[in-house]
Structure 1
Amino acid sequence: MSRPTLSVVIAARNESHQIAECVRSVSFADQVIVLDSSSTDGTADVARGAGAEVHVTDWPGYGPQQLRGIALARGDWVLSLDADERITPELAAEIRTAIEQPVADGYRLPRFSSFCGEFIHHGGWRPDYTLRLVRRERAGFTDHFLHAHMTVDGRRADLRSPIIHYSYRDLDDVLDKLRRYSHGAARDGFERGQSGSLARALASGAWAFLRTYVLRQGFRDGRMGLVLAIYNAQTTYYKYLRLWMMQQHREPVPRVRPGDSPDNPRMKVDDLRA
C-alpha cells in the first residue's frame, strides 16, 4: 500500500521577501503550489527557485483562490499555508504521522504568532487553532471577506506542534491592518445584518481590551501585551463605528470586486486571514 501524499497550497502576492523561506519549510511535501496573484516584485520567480509549482492568476478572493489550489492539488491531503507562516521540522513530522495514521478527516493546527517582533503567549493568541490540513476530497473554504477559512466535511482533530506565524511586522503594519481589518469586519457585519451604534462601539472596544488584557492574561506578555490589547480594542471599536456609519449612510458600503480590500485593492492575500 502506497503512503498518502500531501499537497501544500500557498496564496501570495508581492511576497518575494519571504516566499522562499515559506516554500522551503514545506519541502517535505509531495507538491507545493504557489498561487501568485500577478505579483510585481518577482514572487513567482523566487517561489519557482525555491522548488514550488507556480500558477500566476487573477485575484477572485481568498476562499475562491484556495479552492483553485485544492483543484490543482494531486495529493491525498491538502495543507493551506500563508506566505508569512512556517512549518517547523517538529510539525512536519507530526503532519506526516497524522496523514499516514489518520484519526480524522481534517486537523486544526495551533499557531504561535509574533507582534512587532515579539512572540505572544497570552491574550488569546496561543494556542490559536485553525483548520489547515484536510483530506483533499473533503476540503472546502468559506467566502467571508475577512478571515476566510478552510472547512472539512468530516471529523476534526488537533495537532500539537505550532505553525510559526510572522504577523504584524512593525507599527506601520499594525496601523495599516487596524484600518483594513476594522473595515473588512464592518463589511462582513453589514452583509450579515449586524447593527452598530456609538454605544456598541464604545462598549465592545472596552470589552475587547478587558478580554485580551485581563481575562486572557495579556498582561503576562508585558508591554507588548498591553499594546496588543489596545490594538484589539481599537479594531473592535472602529468595526462597530464603521458599521454604524454605514447604516447611517455616513460612510459608503464598499462595492469592490471579490478579494479586494475596501481601502486598498492591492492588499496582500495573507492579510485576509491573519
Structure 2
Amino acid sequence: MLTRNEEDRVSVSLAEVHDHVHRMIVLDAESDDATRELAQKAGAEVVVRPWEGFVSARRYLLSLVTSPWVLMIDADEVIEPGLWLELESLGFPECSADGFQMRRRTVYEGKKLRRAFQPDWKMSLVRGGNAYFEDRFVHESLKVKGVVQRLRTEILHSSFRSADDHHQRLRTYARLAAQDLSDQGKRVSFANLWLRPAWRWFKELILQGGIADGLVGLKMASRSAYGVHLSYRYLREMNDSL
C-alpha cells in the first residue's frame, strides 16, 4: 500500500486484510500526519521513501515483497470480506490464474454508485514474479504476464473526501495526464479540447448508465469531462512553453 497523509482511512483498509495475509507493507511518502503510526498499529511494516512518482513508488513497493502472491490495494480502498471464501473456492493459491481482477465500486458523498465509472476492473492480486507496472505518469496499473481471472468480490473505492478534494485531484491527475500526452507527441486541437470532454460526459452519463446514480452520477460525469479538458489545456501550456 502507498500512503501520503491517509490517517483518516488507512486503518480501515488494512483491517480488512490483516487476518488473511502473511505480511503487510506500507510505503509512505513522508506523511506529516499520523498515517505511519496508525499503519504500524494495524500491524503493517512501514517504509518511508521520498515521493518520486506513482510508477517509481509502486515498482519499489513491489520489489519489497518476497512472497509468491501480492495483494496491492490503496488506502482509499476497502475489499469486501467475501474475497477470501471466493479465493478458497477457486483453489487459491494452487490455481491456474496468474492474476485476479476485482471490480471497484466508487463510494461518493456516502453513496455506493451503481453505474458511474463502470466498468472499472482493477488488477489487485498477482503472482509476484509475473507482475509489473508500465511507464505512465497517471492511471498506472498493475499488470501480470499470464492468465487473468475476474472475481465476483468487489472493492469499495472512496477516492474523494470532498468536492474540494475531488477538484484538487482532478488538477493533479490532469497535469500528469498532460505529461503522458506530451511524451506521446500529442498536440492540442479543438476536438481534443472540447469535443473529447463532451464525448466523455456523454459516454459516462448515458452509455455507461451514470444517470442511474442520479445527481451524483451527473456530478461524476461532469467532473470527469472537466478533467479531460484540463489535461489538454495543460498540454497546450506545456507546448506553448517549448
Same fold (TM over 0.5): yes
The yes-or-no answer on 1:241 pairing with 2:233 is yes
Alpha carbons 1:120, 1:126 under 8 Å: kept: no
Q: 1:1-274 residue pairs with structure 2 within 5 A?
A: 10-27=1-18, 28-98=20-90, 99-123=92-116, 125-249=117-241
Unaligned runs of 5+ in 1: 1-9, 253-274
CA distance in 2, matches of 1:246, 1:197: 14
Q: CA RMSD in A?
A: 1.7
Cα deviation for residue 101 of structure 1 reads: 4.0
CA distance in 1, matches of 2:188, 2:228: 11
Alpha carbons 2:99, 2:125 under 8 Å: kept: yes
Compared with structure 1, are the counterparts of its residues 32 and 96 closer, same or farther at alpha carbon in structure 2 (3 Å cutoff)? farther
- Tell me the amino acid that sits aligned with residue 71 of structure 1: S
- Tell me the amino acid that sits aligned with residue 244 of structure 1: R
The list of structure 1 runs, each at least 4 consecutive aligned residues, that deviate by more than 6 angstroms after superposition, is none
Indicate the SS of the match to 2:72: strand
Deviation digits for residues 168-226 of structure 1 (CA, Å, limit 9, x no counterpart): 22111121122122222111101111121234211111111111111111111111111
Alpha carbons 1:197, 1:244 under 8 Å: kept: no
Indicate the SS of the match to 2:82: helix
Alpha carbons 1:106, 1:152 under 8 Å: kept: yes
Indicate the SS of the match to 1:167: coil
Cα deviation for residue 111 of structure 1 reads: 0.6
Unaligned runs of 5+ in 2: none
Is 113-122 or 208-217 further displaced after alignment? 113-122
Deviation digits for residues 68-96 of structure 1 (CA, Å, limit 9, x no counterpart): 22222232100111001112210233245
Deviation digits for residues 104-152 of structure 1 (CA, Å, limit 9, x no counterpart): 11111111111232222113x2341011111011111123111111111
CA distance in 2, matches of 1:97, 1:72: 29
**How many residues were matched structurally?**
240
Cα deviation for residue 32 of structure 1 reads: 0.8
Alpha carbons 1:108, 1:157 under 8 Å: kept: yes
- Tell me the amino acid that sits aligned with residue 75 of structure 1: S
